[in-house]
Amino acid sequence: MRRLALKVMLAFALVGSLAGLFVAQVLVAEVKPGVRQAMEANLVNSANLLAELAATDMAAGQIGNGPFAAAVARAVQRDPDAAIWRFPKHAIELEVRIVDPAGIVVYDSSGRHLGQDHSRWNDVLLTLRGQYGVRSSPVDANDPQGPSAMHVAAPVRDRDGQLLGVLTVIQPNASFDPYITAAGQAVVRKGIWLALLCTLIGGAFSAWLAWRVGRLRRYAEAVTLGASAIQPERSRDELGQLGRALATMREQLDGKAYVEQYVQTLTHEMKSPLAAINASAELLGAPMPEADRARFAASIGEQGARLAQMIDRLLALATLEQHRSLPERTPVDLGELVRQQVAASEAKARQRGLAFQLRLPAAAIVQGDGFFLRQALSNLLDNALDFAADGPVQVAVEAADGGYWLWVTDDGPGVPDYARARVFERFYSLARPATGQRSSGLGLNLVAEVARLHAGRVALDNLPTGGACAGIWLPAG
Q: Which pLDDT tens digit goes with each residue over 209-235?
A: 777 777 777 777 776 665 656 656 566
User: Reduced to 3 DSSP states, what percent helix, strand and coil does the chain have, rounded to the nearest 5?
Assistant: 55, 20, 30
pLDDT of residue 249 exceeding 80, the answer is no
pLDDT number for residue 352: 84
137 with 149: CB under 8 angstroms? yes
Q: What does the pLDDT look like over 412-450, one tens digit per residue?
A: 888 888 877 787 776 677 766 556 566 666 678 778 888
With a pLDDT cut of 70, the percent of the chain lying above it is 74
Three-state SS across 26-48?
Answer: HHHHHHHHHHHHHHHHHHHHHHH
In this prediction, residue 35 carries a pLDDT of 74
**pLDDT, position 270:** 64
Whole-number Å distance between alpha carbons of 151 and 139 = 10
Q: What is the pLDDT of residue 4?
A: 59
pLDDT at position 138 is 85
At 298, the pLDDT band (50, 70, 90 cuts) reads confident
Q: How confident is the model at residue 281 (pLDDT cuts 50, 70, 90)?
A: confident
Q: Which of 29-38, 131-140, 300-309, 352-361 has the lowest mean pLDDT?
A: 300-309
State residue 466's pLDDT score.
85
Q: What DSSP character marks residue 173? A: G
pLDDT over threshold 60, residue 320: no
Task: Classify residue 200 as left (phi > 0), alpha (psi -120 to 50) or beta.
Answer: alpha
Residue 1 pLDDT grade (very low, low, confident, very high; cuts 50, 70, 90): very low
Q: Band the pLDDT of 258: cuts 50, 70, 90.
A: very low
CA distance linking residue 77 with residue 84, whole number of Å: 19
pLDDT tens digit sequence for 159-213:
999 999 999 999 988 877 777 777 777 777 777 787 777 777 777 777 777 777 7
For residue range 235-245, what is the model confidence (pLDDT) as tens digits? 666 666 676 66
The strands making up 163-172's β-sheet, listed across from edge to edge, are 105-108, 95-99, 163-172, 148-157, 134-138
Q: Which domains does the chain have, with CATH numbers?
A: 2-181 (3.30.450.20), 230-322 (1.10.287), 328-477 (3.30.565.10)
* pLDDT on residue 169: 96
More confident residue, 387 or 4: 387
Q: What is this structure's pTM?
A: 0.43
Q: Among 30-44, 81-95, 308-322, 364-378, which stretch is predicted with the lowest mean pLDDT?
A: 308-322
CA distance 139 to 119: 17
Distance (Å, whole) CA 146 – CA 386: 112
Look at residue 172 and give its three-state secondary structure.
strand
pLDDT value of position 451: 86
19 and 194 in contact (C-beta within 8 Å)?
Answer: yes
Is the pLDDT assigned to residue 267 strictly greater than 80?
Answer: no
pLDDT (mean) for 342-361 = 86
**Mean pLDDT score across all residues of the chain:** 79
Least confident of 73-77, 191-195, 311-315, 414-418: 311-315
CA dihedral 222, 227, 230, 232 (to 10 degrees): -10
Q: What is the DSSP letter of 476?
A: B
Give me the pLDDT at residue 229, please.
60
What mean pLDDT comes out for the span 124-145?
87
Long-range own/partner contacts, residues 451-458 (CB < 8 A, 24 or more apart)? 451/376, 452/228, 453/320, 453/323, 453/325, 453/326, 453/368, 453/369, 453/372, 454/326, 454/366, 454/368, 454/369, 454/372, 454/373, 456/403, 458/424
Q: What pLDDT, on the 0 to 100 scale, is given for residue 168?
A: 96
Which has the higher per-residue pLDDT, 378 or 156? 156
Q: Check pLDDT > 90 for residue 101.
A: yes
Tell me how far apart the alpha carbons of residues 239 and 248 are, in angstroms, rounded to a whole number. Answer: 14
Beta carbons of 86 and 77 less than 8 angstroms apart: no
- Which H/E stretch holds residue 319? helix 290-321
Measured at the CA of 392, the angle between CA 391 and CA 395, to 5 degrees, comes to 135
pLDDT, position 17: 67
Name the band, by pLDDT with cuts 50, 70 and 90, for residue 275: low
C-alpha R_g of the chain: 51
Rounded CA-CA distance 325/454 in Å is: 8
List, for residues 6-46, the tens digit of each pLDDT value.
Answer: 666 676 667 666 766 666 666 656 666 777 788 889 999 99
Q: Rounded to whole angstroms, how far apart are CA atoms 342 and 359?
A: 12
Amino acid at 200: L
For residues 133 and 220, the model is more confident at 133
Q: Which residues contact 397 (CB under 8 A, 6 or more apart)?
A: 334, 335, 338, 359, 360, 361, 364, 404, 405, 406, 407
Write phi, then psi, for 265 (nearest 5 degrees).
Answer: -70, -40
As a whole-number percent, the residues of the chain with pLDDT over 90 amount to 25
